[in-house]
Amino acid sequence: MPISKTQLNDFLAALSVDRGNLGLIVTAGDAGALIVDLPNGTFERTEIGKDADPEQTIASLLAAAKNKHWCRLDLKDGELSGRVYNQLRALGTSGHLQIVNPPGKEKNMIDMLWPAESKVLVVISRASLEKITVSTFLNLFGPILREE
């Protein structure tokens, strides 16, 4: 059964007030096809997966934090780079981005408190979720919405 507008709105409202910074939507079909109207209409969006550049994902996360936007990450094929996973884990556990050798920066490390206005929404298909090999992946997220 497809995700209804009401379910999606309830999920986004829960993510908005949840103390966590990460939400997960598991779709029955292609993750990129899900249309989500994020709060304030402002967000960074990028695809992550085997053929994606992890530095682009890091740059999207940095831009979302700097501009106090939401960030949508579409995980395409169940392949999550260690660099991206580490950022999601740091964000989920400490509320910080802690990026070593950030893209396009001269600093060796950025340690940034994630703004309360910003959230990360990861969208993944059920098939891609089954390919994730990191056993603690689902533990990163606050609210999780599953398309049945």
Beta bridge partners of residue 123, listed in sequence order? 25, 74
Q: Find the mean pLDDT for residues 119-127.
A: 93
Q: What is the C-alpha to C-alpha distance for residues 35 and 128, in angstroms, rounded to an integer?
A: 18
147 within 8 A of 1, measured Cβ to Cβ: yes
Domain boundaries, the chain: 5-146
DSSP code at position 138: G
If you ran DSSP here, which 8-state letter would residue 28 be given?
Answer: S
Length of the chain (residues): 148
pLDDT of the residue at 23: 93
Task: Report helix, strand or coil for 46.
Answer: strand
pLDDT score for 120: 93
- Per DSSP, the three-state class of 39 is helix
Fold entry, domain 5-146: Rossmann fold (3.40.50)
pLDDT value of residue 18: 66
Instruction: Output the pLDDT for position 113.
Output: 92
Residues 64-101 have pLDDT tens digits of 999 988 999 999 888 889 989 999 999 988 899 888 87
Helical residues (DSSP H) of the chain, grouped into ranges? 5-17, 54-67, 82-94, 126-131
